[in-house]
Amino acid sequence: SDGCYYHAWKIPGPFSVPLVGSAFLVTHIILYRIFELVCGKLDSLQTGCAKSWVGSQLYIATMRPTDTEKILTNCLNKSPFYENFNDIMKDTLLTSKVSIWKEHRKMINPSFNSKILNSYHDIFVSYSREMVKFLDDKEGAEQTDFLPVIWEKTVDAALATLTNVKPHVIKERQRMITITVKFEEILIQRFHTFWLLIDFFWKLSNLHKEHKVLCQTAHEIAENIIAEEYKSYESEDRNDDTIESKRFLPNLTKLNRTKQITRDEILEETSFMLMAASETAAITINTVLTILGIYSDIQERVYQELVSVLPNIESSPTQEELNRLDYLERVVKETLRLVPTIPFILRYADEDIKCDPYVFPAGSNLFVPLVLLHRDPEIWPEPEKFDPDRFLPDEVAKRHRCSYIPFSFGARNCIGFKFGMMVVKVMVATILRNYKVLTVGMKSWKDIQWDYMVMLKAKNSRLRFEKRKF
């Protein structure tokens, strides 16, 4: 509309891109141009926000906490960007239109309440013990890449908590990891091959064939998990009041009986939920350990806290002990500030959003770069310094509540926020109580090479583990 052009005209932004037809091409340009723009020029613009026209689509990036709060509270629809992930995750909590999302989130939310999450504590502990046992067996060995190792444990922990299926029953569950990695590789390859960004060529390419095979396999694995869940539903004398029946997949299975959700919808939600739960947690644990490997003085402080709260090396933290690990909590928070595992969020404006002195017009795509918001020197003095004490209560109270949002904010925030913090803390606490972690040849977090696609993950973190003496 004319209003849209008028409002957009006032927002600074030096470039536009000629009309292009493919949604994927648009996405490509957003990522590269806006990232470049936002990273390179946002602070020099001194406005905290910038726009870019990509064909007929308007993209606006902002790193002001007040705008961020307005966007995340008022715009619950996602940008078309999210349609590009993969073909079996088009209608999930993450991606679906508000109408569907609202219904599903209402059904899924109760499975993430505190009572149910607390019942997961011992399960997380048992997988963290398995992790330590794995390290014991390989003592001293340099892990060229720790991420796949910890990821196996978070997949099992996710299956053991979000479903009633015993992880070992799902023989191909480790393939969930290779498939996810492959999906991301294909996405990256597509981004780097200009002609593959045009749908017509993409559909003809071998990469697309590979993509389809992966979708098929992911679909089969999710089918198996659901079939097992149905079996356990039928075999056990079902009591719908147990805490187990309120878990994510059992709960959806129950709602399927009363036709509140279809089996296909459950399949997509499950596929996505298991991936979301395990990959984010694994990456975060890997990042925390890498950073603590670099800053050994900070690791030492974490270790001293662990020794005082957990005098016995064999013991894992109880829930009450976990809550007393304040310094560890600050370390995890500071890690997610500097390196938010999900580095940006894209929303869609259904109506005009007033962000003084600008109006972000209806129809625009709103880009919230967490990674830049979290490094804004106006909010974070010496932003590149790793300093867990930024999260002391007095410091937190001084900042705007949307200056730090690794789990997003508002009604469409991360449903697994507490779940994620719990797994990460239990795993890191148990590993560090038993092992000292070292990195090879790195002095600062800036020596880590970051993969910058959908997730922000360390590429060259080679961790070494040294058994702690009693």
Among residues 163 and 434, whose Cβ is nearest to ligand HEM?
163
Of 416, 430, 442, 457, the residue at the interface with ligand HEM (CB under 6 A) is 416
The total of other beta-carbon atoms located within 10 Å of residue 99's CB is 8
Least distance (Å) between residue 141 CB and ligand HEM: 27
Nearer to ligand HEM, 164 or 280 (CB): 280
The number of residues that bind ligand HEM (CB under 6 A) is 23
Which is closer to ligand HEM, CB of 388 or CB of 416?
416
Q: CA-CA distance, 303 to 309, in Å (whole number)?
A: 10
Q: How many CB atoms lie within 10 A of CB 457?
A: 25
CB of 157 to ligand HEM, least distance (A): 9
**Can you tell me whether residue 433 is helix, strand or coil?**
helix
How many residues are there in the chain? 470
Determine which helix (DSSP H) or strand (DSSP E) holds 14, and give its type and residue range: none
Q: Does 50 bind ligand HEM (CB under 6 A)?
A: no
Task: Draw the binding track, 422-441, toward ligand HEM (x: CB under 6 A; -: no contact).
Answer: --x-----------------
Q: Which is nearer to ligand HEM, 116 or 179 (CB)?
A: 116
Binding of residue 420 to ligand HEM (CB under 6 A): yes
Q: How far is the CB of 66 from ligand HEM (least distance, A)?
A: 19
Residue 48 has which token pair?
Answer: 């905290």
- Asked whether position 94 contacts ligand HEM by CB under 6 A, the answer is yes
Whole-angstrom distance, CA of residue 382 vs CA of residue 334: 13
Rule CB under 6 A: choose which of 284, 299, 335, 365 binds ligand HEM. Answer: 284
Residue 369 in the binding site for ligand HEM (CB under 6 A) = no
Q: Which stretch binds ligand HEM (CB under 6 A): 23-31, 124-132, 169-177, 419-427?
A: 419-427
Q: Exposed/middle/buried for 260, CB within 10 Å: 0-12, 13-18, 19+?
A: middle
Stretches 192-200, 276-284, 295-303, 358-366: which one binds ligand HEM (CB under 6 A)? 276-284
- 75 labeled part of a ligand binding site: no
Quick check: 281 binds ligand HEM (CB under 6 A)? Answer: yes
- Residue 239, judged by CB atoms within 10 A of its CB (0-12, 13-18, 19+), counts as exposed
* 276 counts as binding ligand HEM under rule CB under 6 A: yes
Spatial contact of 369 and 363, defined as CB atoms under 8 Å apart: no
- Pick from 125, 139, 466: which is nearest to 314 by CA? 125
> Under the criterion CB under 6 A, does residue 291 sit at the interface with ligand HEM?
no
Whole-angstrom distance, CA of residue 36 vs CA of residue 318:
45
- Copy the structure tokens of residue 28: 């490509």
What is the CA 199 to chain-centroid distance, rounded? 27
Cis peptide before 357 (omega within 30 of 0): yes
Most distant pair of Cα atoms in the chain: their distance: 72
Q: How far is the CB of 62 from ligand HEM (least distance, A)?
A: 15
Least Å distance, CB 282 to ligand HEM, is 9
Question: Can residue 280 be called a binding residue for ligand HEM (CB under 6 A)?
Answer: yes
> Distance between CA atoms of 360 and 345, rounded to whole angstroms?
16
> Which residue's CB is nearer to ligand HEM, number 112 or number 202?
112
Nearer to ligand HEM, 290 or 438 (CB): 290
Q: How far is the CB of 415 from ligand HEM (least distance, A)?
A: 4
CA atoms of 97 and 165, how far apart (whole Å): 30
Sheet containing 142-143: order of strands: 142-143, 463-467, 435-439
Which residue, 52 or 111, is less far from ligand HEM as judged by CB? 111
- Minimal distance in Å, beta carbon 10 to ligand HEM? 27
8 belongs to the binding site for ligand HEM (CB under 6 A): no
* Cβ-closest position to ligand HEM: 416
- Of residues 406, 435, 438, 461, which one binds ligand HEM by CB under 6 A? 406
Alpha carbon distances (Å) from 92 to 176, 268, 412: 17, 6, 12
Per-position DSSP letters for 66-88, written without gaps between them: HHHHHHHHH--SBPGGGGGS-TT
Which parts of 307-346 interact with ligand HEM (CB under 6 A)?
336, 341-342, 345
Q: How far is the CB of 287 from ligand HEM (least distance, A)?
A: 10
Q: Which residue, among 329, 334, 278, has the nearest Cα to 150 in the 3D structure?
A: 278
**Residue with Cβ nearer ligand HEM (8 or 165):** 165
Nearer to ligand HEM, 292 or 336 (CB): 336
Q: What is the DSSP letter of 195?
A: G
Q: Which structure tokens are listed for 391?
A: 């999260």
Of the candidate residues 407, 435, 445, 465, the single one contacting ligand HEM (CB under 6 A)? 407
Q: Quick one: CA torsion of 401, 37, 53, 11, rounded to 10 degrees? A: 60
Q: Which residues bind ligand HEM (CB under 6 A)?
A: 93-94, 105, 273, 276-277, 280-281, 284, 336, 341-342, 345, 406-408, 412, 414-416, 419-420, 424
Can you say which residues are annotated as belonging to the binding site? 414
